[in-house]
Amino acid sequence: MFQSYTIKDIAKALNLSTSTVSRALNGSHEIGAETKKLVLEYAEKINYRPNPIALSLKEQKSHSIGVVVCEVANNYFSQAINGIESIAYNSGYHVIITQTHESAERELANVQHLLSRQVDGLLVSLSAQTVNTSIYEELHSKGFPIVFFDRIAHNIQTHRIVLDNFVAAFEATESLINSGFTRIAHLTSTSNLLISQERFKGFMAALQKHGLNFPPAYFRQCNHGGMLMTEVETVVKELMELPVPPDAILSTNDRLTTHCISILKGSGYKIPEDVALIGFTNSDVAESFDPPLTVVRQPAFQMGQMATELLIKTIESKQRVENYTTEVLAAELICRESSQCISPIN
């Protein structure tokens, strides 16, 4: 089925040995200029393409990298994948994407699948339900290249690309405070995720700086990271039906944010009059929302690119990489009406 030429075909046609052809093709120096030219021209003529599978078998590497994310259909991740691919393809790697759907179980299955596919490295963003990261620890300790991005494992010392979650949440919260909101609720995913913890810390720091009170009831988690609409609905409604409901909400992930606005409106709350909203999301259409949504936007594309660059560098480094970097990127706070921003950046 759709056969292509092999090195053997060239050898036969040119009356050479396969090794000579191989050398010519690989620009070896121990080869006659004549022969080399001959081979190269012929290869060009028949449009020879080396068989990557044979190469993989030989080199013991697949030239592919595995990606573990919760969902492709998530603005942040689809943009990140865009960045991942842009680098990977230029470096001759291909990308195998797997989705956890926020399940730890599926995450493990995906990693195992990717390993059995002999990926040369892993780009991972943990699922919201993942608590046990021993598979990564084990792999990492064996020297297998892994780069975490966004949702990193705090206990594994490898390359990481993260948002400055603390500052992002701090600034978003402070912007709410500056707009006059004082009863700010915090809507988040599971606290398994380090990003959730950091965002919460940044949030609290802003409240503290401004001497604001934070009733425990204003802290609400969705264990499915927003994948379950009903879960978000319960949480948001309970929040708004509190004796003293919040006058603003900071929502810390994509799904949560989009569900939150839809639920609030569906329940008849006016935004920002009844309750203001700032959300972490990479949606391209937040501007078209009713009201236009103030968002914390991550440099997803760039994060994907950086993660991939680091991963490929690790894969290709001859000696084992020992000094790992943690790149911290800044989020962008885009002020719009949903939070009555004082000084609209955008």
Where in 26-45 is the site for DNA (CB under 7 A)? 26, 29-36
Location of structure tokens 């914390």: 296
Query: Between the CA atoms of 10, 11, 15 and 17, what dihedral angle is there, to the nearest 10 degrees?
Result: 160
Residue 138 near residue 203 (C-beta atoms within 8 A) = no
Q: Which does 22 bind (CB under 5 to 8 A by kind): DNA, a copy of itself, none?
A: DNA
* N-term to C-term CA, the chain: 55
- Beta strands 64-69; 332-334: pairing state: unpaired
**Options 20, 129, 258, 305; binder of a copy of itself; rule CB under 8 A:** 258
For 275, half-sphere exposure in the C-beta direction (CA atoms, 13 angstrom radius) is 30
The values of phi and psi at residue 341, to 5°, are -55, 140
Nearer to DNA, 56 or 178 (CB): 56
Q: Which stretch binds DNA (CB under 7 A): 55-63, 82-90, 243-251, 302-310?
A: 55-63
Q: In what order do the strands lie in the sheet with 219-221?
A: 219-221, 184-188, 248-251, 276-280, 294-297, 332-334
The burial of 229, by beta-carbon neighbours within 10 Å (0-12 exposed, 13-18 middle, 19 or more buried), is given as middle
Calculate the CA 55 to chain-centre distance. Answer: 29
Q: What is the smallest separation between the CB atom of 52 and DNA, expressed in angstroms?
A: 8
**Which of the residues 62 through 121 are near a copy of itself (CB under 8 A)?**
62, 71-75, 78-79, 81-82, 85, 89, 94-99, 113, 115-118
- The reply to whether 345 sits near a copy of itself by the rule CB under 8 A is no
Stretch that binds DNA, among 18-26, 93-101, 307-315, 337-345 (CB under 7 A): 18-26
* CB 202, min distance to a copy of itself, A: 26
Map residues 131-160 to x or -, x wherever contact with a copy of itself holds by CB under 8 A: --------x--xxx----------------
Q: Nearest 5°: phi and psi at 213?
A: -80, 145
User: How far, in Å, CA of 160 to CA of 124, rounded?
Assistant: 10
Round to whole Å and give the CA distance between 23 and 262. Answer: 63
**Which partner in a copy of itself, DNA, none is near 20 (CB below 5 to 8 A by kind)?**
DNA
C-beta of 244: minimal distance to a copy of itself in Å?
A: 27
User: Which residues bind to DNA, rule: CB under 7 A?
Assistant: 3, 6-8, 15-20, 22-23, 25-26, 29-36, 50-51, 54-55, 57-60
User: Which residues bind to a copy of itself, rule: CB under 8 A?
Assistant: 1-2, 49, 51-54, 56-57, 60-62, 71-75, 78-79, 81-82, 85, 89, 94-99, 113, 115-118, 139, 142-144, 258, 261-262, 265, 283-285, 287-292
